[in-house]
Structure 1
């Protein structure tokens, strides 16, 4: 069931969200200091492409908090708004509700990506 969900997800919004994460990662990788942030973006792009069967666990410490604050001001808010808008559009129909809920999960992740761990179920 997860494979079918991931295929439908990729067609109906996952490709757009994943490409947004990849573009953000490329922009962060332009500078040497931003490379760790860019690599995290690429990890989260894979989650955005195929989210079904995966879970996000949050944790981290002071370093993650500081990086999340910088991330939120620079890149996090536009990505989160994109995922929220797509989630609202998907929740209009009954069949789109599971996909909309995945978008909301990714919106939260877009706000606080550092200290988050993706676990495959």
Structure 2
């Protein structure tokens, strides 16, 4: 199902949202100071081309350690990103989701657009992984939280 969903997604408009992410990445790359945002744009742009079977997860949860994008600098980067590009990419995904929701067949595609809209708001500190790995990360994080709650 994932391969068929990705093919239909790509042909029916996913290519445009992926190119939108890559365009934002190129604009960020040109500014030199935007290189961290450019990297995130290219990774998420590839995800926007073929989103079925993949999910975004926090790198801190995946690797169980902080890095420059998951700490306070990542928060600052996400705030700057939100103001200059995130809100606009999110709006594009939301409009695309509404257009997809009009038909019953388009509902899975609308859900993918909403997932991408959420990522568009704060992409720094996130990475894209197969959905099985994302489920394992969520499970491991839940187990750690349960352990912390029980120790209280």
Give your verdict on TM over 0.5. yes
Q: 4+ runs of 1 displaced by more than 3 Å?
A: none
- Which ranges in structure 1 are unaligned for 5 or more consecutive residues? none
Distance 1:11 1:43 in 2: 20
Matched, 1:74 2:89: no
For these two proteins, the number of residue pairs brought into alignment is: 121
Give the match for residue 55 of structure 1: 55
SS at match of 2:129: strand
Distance 2:56 2:42 in 1: 15
Q: Deviations along 1:61-82, whole A, 9 cap, x unmatched? A: 2121110000001111110000
Q: Between Structure 1 and Structure 2, which shows a larger proportion of helix residues?
A: 2
Distance 1:112 1:37 in 2: 10
Distance 2:88 2:97 in 1: 14
Deviation for aligned residue 1:98: 0.3
Deviation for aligned residue 1:43: 0.7
Equivalent residues in 2 for 1:11-90, closer than 5 Å: 11-58=11-58, 59=60, 60-90=70-100
CA RMSD, 1 decimal: 1.0
Query: So what's the TM-score if we normalise by structure 1?
Result: 0.95
Deviation for aligned residue 1:11: 1.1
Query: So what's the TM-score if we normalise by structure 2?
Result: 0.77
Give the match for residue 119 of structure 1: 129
Deviation for aligned residue 1:31: 1.8
Give the match for residue 64 of structure 2: none
- Which ranges in structure 2 are unaligned for 5 or more consecutive residues? 61-69, 132-152
Matched, 1:97 2:107: yes
